[in-house]
């Protein structure tokens, strides 16, 4: 195993002053695992990892910060917009990658001008993100792959636009993930355990003419491929918010077969009684799968008539189908 070190203050063999330089030093055909340790500090870098078996470990999630400020509305040299999928701060494009004790931030602000701004673009199998903070507003975390085709021409412009769509497994443990619009989205099979899913607002909205609370966002927007049994599973997570009561949906379907399941999750008062939204898509309403098991907290409306009619309440037996080992193990038994 090879160890590398990134530091703003230390120098010496295997020490680098940027994460980008450390990654570039790794041979493309390396066969052994590499661990990169990051000293606390702010690293203003746009990072790409396209090698497997790499682990990044920060000194502390609150003080080891990788940040960049690209966003969808930025103009490229040819006058075109950068778009969602080139806006990332960190791009993972391989298998067997682990991130630990880091903040990954997209610092574009405000959302009304920046548009989509990905903090972490994760596309690969056996990706583990542990004790990390993922911070942005719209589209904070993209769990690739992309859906088969964009809804409009050029919608998928970016590094994986023409790549084969391979649905990988991803695990997020004890992470803080914040945003407002669709801030966890994509097609991966992803398991979230003991995470805080925080709804924040880049700008204050005003009530409509009838005094109704505006919609501040949607926590998830899954695009689970047709035929896949698992999309997003949240276990023992906390959905919190610094936005008004009943102003956020738990999710909506980016594609028609979206699957999102909550197990024993705390729901704050910002969650709307309906729970999920169908994005006004008749086919999605028929084909998506949204479900809860033992939700609790002020945003829990599962024992009333308020939940949307397409939201399922799971029995004990049904909930067992979404155990971590069943969601992630695959044929290789991976279950971090």
Q: What is the dihedral of CA 290, 127, 179, 268, to 10 degrees?
A: 50
Rounded alpha-carbon distances, angstroms, from residue 204 to 106, 252, 318: 20, 22, 40
Tokens linked to 134: 């993922």
Residue 36 within a domain: no
Return the sign of the alpha-carbon dihedral for residues 173, 328, 256, 187: positive
Residue 11 within a domain: no
- Provide the CATH number for the domain around residue 83: 2.160.20.10
Count of structural domains within the chain: 1
Does residue 29 come out as left (phi exceeding 0), alpha (psi in the -120 to 50 range) or beta?
A: alpha
Residue 319 within a domain: yes
Residue 19 within a domain: no
Residue 2 within a domain: no
pTM of the model: 0.97
Residue whose C-alpha is closest to residue 202's, from 111, 74, 69: 111
- What pLDDT is recorded for position 138? 96
- What pLDDT is recorded for position 277? 97
- What pLDDT is recorded for position 244? 94
Residue 21 within a domain: no
Q: What is the pLDDT of residues 282-295, one digit of tens each?
A: 999 999 999 999 99
Distance between start and end Cα atoms, the chain: 19
- Weakly modelled stretches of the chain, pLDDT under 70: 302-304
- What pLDDT is recorded for position 81? 94
Q: What is the pLDDT of residues 196-216, one digit of tens each?
A: 999 998 888 877 777 788 999
- What pLDDT is recorded for position 111? 78
- Which range of residues forms the domain containing residue 315? 41-203+214-328
- What pLDDT is recorded for position 304? 62
Return the sign of the alpha-carbon dihedral for residues 145, 51, 62, 202: negative
Q: What is the pLDDT of residues 102-135, one digit of tens each?
A: 999 999 988 788 999 999 999 999 999 999 999 9
- What pLDDT is recorded for position 219? 98
Residue 132 within a domain: yes
């Amino acid at each position: 195993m090879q160890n590398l070190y990134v530091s703003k203050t230390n120098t010496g063999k295997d020490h680098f002053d940027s994460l980008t330089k450390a990654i570039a030093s790794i041979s493309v055909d390396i066969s052994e695992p590499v661990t990169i340790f990051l000293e606390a500090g702010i690293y203003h870098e746009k990072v790409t990892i396209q090698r497997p078996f790499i682990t990044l470990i920060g000194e502390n999630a609150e003080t080891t910060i990788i940040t960049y400020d690209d966003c969808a509305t930025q103009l490229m040299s040819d006058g075109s917009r950068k778009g969602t999928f080139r806006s990332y701060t960190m791009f993972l494009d391989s298998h067997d990658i682990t991130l630990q004790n880091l903040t990954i931030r997209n610092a574009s602000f405000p959302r009304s001008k920046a548009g989509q701004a990905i903090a972490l673009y994760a596309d690969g199998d056996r990706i583990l993100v542990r004790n990390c903070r993922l911070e942005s507003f719209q589209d904070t975390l993209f769990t690739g792959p992309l859906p088969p085709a964009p809804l409009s021409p050029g919608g998928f412009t970016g590094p994986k636009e023409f790549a084969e769509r391979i649905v990988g497994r991803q695990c997020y443990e004890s992470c803080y993930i914040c945003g407002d619009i669709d801030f966890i989205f994509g097609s991966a099979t992803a398991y979230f355990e003991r995470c805080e899913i925080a709804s924040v607002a880049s700008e204050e909205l005003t009530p409509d003419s009838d005094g109704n609370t505006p919609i501040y966002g949607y926590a998830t927007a899954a695009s689970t491929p047709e035929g896949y049994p698992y999309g997003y599973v949240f276990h023992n997570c906390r959905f919190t918010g610094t936005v008004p009561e009943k102003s956020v949906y738990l999710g909506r379907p980016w594609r028609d077969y979206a699957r999102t399941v909550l197990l024993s999750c705390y729901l704050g008062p910002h969650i709307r009684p309906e729970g999920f939204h169908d994005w006004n898509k008749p086919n999605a309403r028929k084909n998506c799968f949204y479900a809860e098991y033992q939700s609790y907290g002020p945003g829990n409306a599962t024992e009333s008539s308020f939940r949307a009619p397409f939201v399922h309440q799971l029995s004990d037996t049904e909930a067992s189908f979404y155990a971590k080992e069943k969601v992630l193990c695959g044929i290789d038994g991976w279950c971090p």
